[in-house]
Chains A and B, each alone.
Chain A
Amino acid sequence: MTNYQLINDEINTKISIPNWRLVIGFSFVILICLLDLSVFAASTSLDPTQLGIGARSLSMGRSGAADMCEMGTIYINPANTGCFKDWGVTSMQTSLMQSDINYTFLAGAKRFADDGVLAVAYLAGSSFGINSTTIDANSRVVLNGSSFDYSNATFILSYGKEMKENFRLGGLLKTVNKNLSGQGSASGFNFDIGMTFVPKENLVLGLVAQNLMPSGLSWGTGAKENLPIGLKTGISFQPKDNLLLNLDLDSSPGAIHTGIEWQLNKNLSLRAGAESATALNYSMGVGIEMQGFRFDYAYLLDGNLAENSTSYFSLSFAPEVKEPEMVPHENDGGKKLQLKTDEGFPKEVLTPSIIISPPSLLNGQVAPKKKNSVKIKKIAPKKVLKKKQFSQLSRKKHKRV
């Protein structure tokens, strides 16, 4: 039996046996937390991350709780670290409410040797010229000549890690600041925890519990408000290599998010989605990817008020990682596949750990970093992979980092 066959068998065995105890246990903890915290549910303050993060997610109906192959969704579900290979940065810009408020999002993420992904992000919103008023002698509301400004800022620190080959866990700590210049300000922090579970190679389930701390924001006026406790569940399904379907259920605010992405070619993706909240909001978008750079555009049609429809722009960068090509084995009539790199068939096959992961499947070896930052492992010379394993790898064609 070859090393590859051993690895293959191990993958099949581990993927076919779900970590139900872990999944159920984790879900149970989340539900208990939510039930306990519902006692504290009082006045709630808006969580600015409800804006939605990343033009790709927004163009897919603001879905992404189980969309592991997108750096932006790390901030929706901190366990969404599946396809994130090395490091990357992303940004988003939008103007909401007919440009009455502007938002900027900046983020970066880095995968470490232990297959954990650490991410930091900053989301800021600002609005200027809020008019103060008074009452005139006619008992009418009139301007009093003064105005003030509004801003909010959210800092996010997220960490996600692959606990098992088909189970990832993550936590997200956020600090939220809100300021109405000269009128009042508030600050506070909270945290989310999330998991993703991969029961099949083309199916991902996600679960996120949001704002689990009972105390959220403390205002200078003495008022204390909770950030809304929420539970988000998501399914990401890839029926074809170039097709991705997302479905999220969101408890706060109650909404259903769904989206589809069609990858036309290596550089171009088309997206559409819908979300059902206070109205049915449709969305559409496009992604253009080239040499590690990716530009995403999303347009959200507001079902409540057409004039609130908004454009979102994201620009991301993640260094490209060359993946070995799989070709029919020359001595096997094409029944088996083998790796081929630019240099031809290697004497020692180097396999990126993102394809066959985690490292524990590969005898626990942690390979040194190559120039292109892919973690690699020395497996065996000139060995072949079976077609089924190739199928498992095919999901990664639809990668988004």
Chain B
Amino acid sequence: MVTASKMTSTNYSTAGGSLSGGASGAGDNSGPIISNVKIDSKTLANNDYIKQTATLTATITDEVGVSLTCSSIEVDGVKTLFSTLTSASTFDASASTLSYNLNLSSGSHTIKICAVDIKGNTTSLTRAVEVSSGGAISASSVMIYPNPFNPTAGNARIAYTLNTAADISIMIFNAVGQLTFKTAISSGASGATAGYNEYSWDGKDTGGQVVGNDLYFVRIVSGGKVIGRTKLAVIK
């Protein structure tokens, strides 16, 4: 059991996947570890776009146990103790797994997980999220790793953040504007969900040939419009 006087608070907003919090009691001076924070099975980072209805999951572990009566999840300041979670949202103490159903309106939101062990050590993790207002589809933070890319050494990771799930195409053009590669991804499928997405490209053109060393232009397209773009260099 914990008392209020023993609680400490640590507010992390790192992009990391796990956190352990402040110290308080002898023998156990660290808070629970919060890890694998995901929305609909996708790792959640700060300022991610998510769907209006989504499921947040996280793993919360502690060597002496997590206090259900003190640990909570807060959405936009509205706190729900783990002990009061309904059947749709649960904290499974045996599996150390939190599952929480979100139903958010359009706009910006803050989600905070506050985990307390039975000795009162506390860890908290806060994430700002965005729910698309239903306007134009956009792909932000379009990046490719590695860049320059060597197709003989592996695939390129084309990363982008969609403000909402949508049917998209990834098109790659060469330095004189000729279409080199194109693939279509259906809304909701891997690579076309709200939030952070990746597509793995093997560096081959539509004919199956490895592309030549040069500059390429990557376009994320939805509804015939470019919603995100970046440049990629290929050097073998």
Query: A278 touching B179 by the CB < 8 A rule?
Result: yes
* Contact for B148 among A184, A217, A278, CB less than 8 A: A184
Tell me if B144 is interfacial: C-beta within 8 Å of chain A: yes
Chain A residues, Cβ within 8 Å of B154: none
Task: Count residues of chain B with CB under 8 A from any CB of chain A.
Answer: 45
User: Are B179 and A304 neighbours in the complex by a CB distance under 8 Å?
Assistant: yes
Query: Once the chains are docked, how many angstroms separate the CA of A221 from the CA of B37?
Result: 42
Are B225 and A127 interface neighbours, CB within 8 A? Answer: no
Tell me whether A133 is interfacial, beta carbon within 8 Å: yes
A43–B211 CA distance with the chains assembled, in angstroms:
7
User: Does the CB pair A141–B145 fall under 8 Å?
Assistant: yes
Interface residues of A in 294-324 (CB under 8 A from B): 302, 304-308, 310
Is the C-beta of A293 less than 8 angstroms from some C-beta in chain B? no
In the assembled complex, the Cα of A141 lies from the Cα of B159 at a distance in Å of: 6
Contact of B175 among A101, A134, A140, A302 (CB under 8 A): A101
Q: Is the CB of A43 within 8 A of B148?
A: no
Q: Flag if B147 contacts A277 (CB, 8 Å).
A: no
Asked if residues B235 and A302 are in contact (CB atoms below 8 Å), the reply is no
How many whole Å from B208's CB to the nearest CB in chain A? 13
For residue B226, give the distance in angstroms from its CB to the closest CB of chain A: 5
A45-B221 in contact given A136-B15, A140-B45 (Cβ < 8 Å): no
Stretch at the interface among B5-13, B75-83, B128-136, B212-220: B212-220
Q: Does B231 contact A (CB under 8 A)?
A: yes
Is B210 an interface position by the 8 A CB rule? yes
Segment with Cβ contacts to B, from A92-100, A257-265, A357-365: A92-100
Residue of A nearest to B148 (CB): A183
Q: 8 Å CB contacts to A: which residues of B109-159?
A: 143-148, 157, 159
Chain B residue contacts of A96, Cβ below 8 A: 176-177
B102 at the interface (CB under 8 A from A): no
A131/B230 contact (C-beta < 8 A), A138-B17, A140-B159, A141-B144 known: yes
- Is A393 in the interface zone, CB < 8 Å from B? no
Contact of B231 among A130, A221, A305 (CB under 8 A): A130
Q: Per-position contact with B for A138-155: 1 when CB-CB < 8 Å, else 0?
A: 111111000010101000
- Cα separation A11 to B75 with both chains bound (whole Å): 91
Q: Which residues of A contact B236 (CB under 8 A)?
A: 43, 219, 221, 223
The minimal Cβ–Cβ distance linking A42 to chain B, given in whole angstroms, is 10
Q: Which parts of B165-189 form the interface with A (CB within 8 Å)?
A: 171, 173-179, 182
Question: Residue of A at shortest CB range from B144?
Answer: A133
Q: Is the CB of A133 within 8 A of B215?
A: no
Check A140/B233 contact, CB under 8 A, given A96-B176, A130-B215, A279-B179: no
Interface contact tally, CB-CB below 8 A: 138
Q: How far is the CA of A138 from the CA of B225 in the complex (A)?
A: 30
For A267, what are the chain B residues with a Cβ–Cβ distance below 8 Å?
none
User: Residues of A contacting B224 with CB < 8 Å?
Assistant: 305-306
Q: Which residues of A contact B91 (CB under 8 A)?
A: none
B133 to chain A, nearest CB (A): 23
Contacts of A183 on B, CB cut-off 8 Å? 148, 233, 235
Q: Does A50 contact B (CB under 8 A)?
A: yes
| Chain A contacts for B233, CB-based, 8 A | 130, 148, 150, 180, 183
Measured between beta carbons, the chain A residues less than 8 angstroms from B157 are 141
Contact pick for A141, options B198, B215, B231, B235, CB 8 Å: B198
Instruction: Report B-chain residues with C-beta under 8 Å of the C-beta of A35.
Output: none
Shortest beta-carbon distance, B81 to chain A, in Å?
A: 28
A370 to B102, CA, bound (A): 86
Are B45 and A100 neighbours in the complex by a CB distance under 8 Å?
no
Residues of A within 8 A of B206 (CB): 278
Q: Which single residue of chain B is at the shortest CB-CB distance from A125?
A: B175
- Which A residues lie within 8 Å of B159 (CB)? 140-141
Question: Chain A: which residue is nearest B233 at the CB level?
Answer: A180
Whether B146 lies near A133 (C-beta < 8 A) is yes
**Which of chain A's residues have a CB closer than 8 A to the CB of B147?**
130-133
Q: A39 an interface residue at 8 Å Cβ cutoff? A: no
CB distance from A66 to the nearest CB of B (A): 22
Q: Which of B144, B145, B175 has the most CB of A within 10 A?
A: B175
Verify if B16 is at the interface (C-beta below 8 Å from A): yes
In the bound complex, do residue B178 and residue A50 qualify as a contact, i.e. CB atoms below 8 Å apart? yes
* With A131-B147, A136-B15, A178-B214 as contacts: A184 and B171 at CB distance below 8 Å: no
Specify which chain B residues have a CB less than 8 angstroms from the CB of A310 in the assembled complex. 177
- Can you show 16 pairs from A to B with CB atoms below 8 A apart? A45-B212, A46-B175, A96-B176, A97-B177, A100-B217, A130-B215, A133-B143, A133-B147, A137-B16, A138-B15, A140-B45, A141-B159, A148-B233, A219-B235, A221-B235, A305-B179
| Chain B contacts to A: CB under 8 angstroms | 14-17, 43, 45, 143-148, 157, 159, 171, 173-179, 182, 196, 198, 206, 209-210, 212-215, 217, 219, 221, 224-226, 229-233, 235-236
The 8 closest A-B pairs by CB, nearest first: A141-B159, A45-B212, A51-B176, A150-B215, A141-B145, A133-B145, A278-B179, A130-B231
**Other A-B pairs beyond A43-B236, A127-B231, A277-B178, 10, CB < 8 Å:** A48-B175, A51-B177, A97-B177, A135-B145, A138-B43, A139-B43, A141-B198, A150-B231, A152-B175, A183-B233
